[in-house]
Amino acid sequence: MLWVNKDLAKKNFVKYAEQYRMLVRIVNYSDEVHIDKMKEVIPDELQNTLVIYEITNQSLKTWDNYLKLLMQVYKVLHPDKA
């Protein structure tokens, strides 16, 4: 299942994000569930960049905004893969 596919998220986060967007259309879970599941698989470097949001209580509330932020960070960290 995509939710536990850490290898894909680490190897090719762009592909993981695309597949995740498709998954969301199929399953009907709350934003909190999607964010929690994504936190379990995203690479540590992306997780580390979100610390400032968490400690300042500015965490993103929708999975779509969360994923958009992750994609922006990924593109900055890996311009060659974006």
Q: pLDDT tens, 4-14?
A: 888 999 899 99
pLDDT greater than 70 at residue 1: no
Considering only residues 67 and 60, tell me which one the structure prediction assigns the higher pLDDT: 67
Amino acid 72: pLDDT: 93
3-state secondary structure of 81: coil
Indicate the pLDDT class of residue 71, thresholds 50, 70 and 90. very high
The mean pLDDT of 19-31, rounded to a whole number, is 89
3-state secondary structure of 19: helix
pTM of the model: 0.83
Give the helix/strand (H/E) hosting 35: helix 31-41
3-state secondary structure of 40: helix
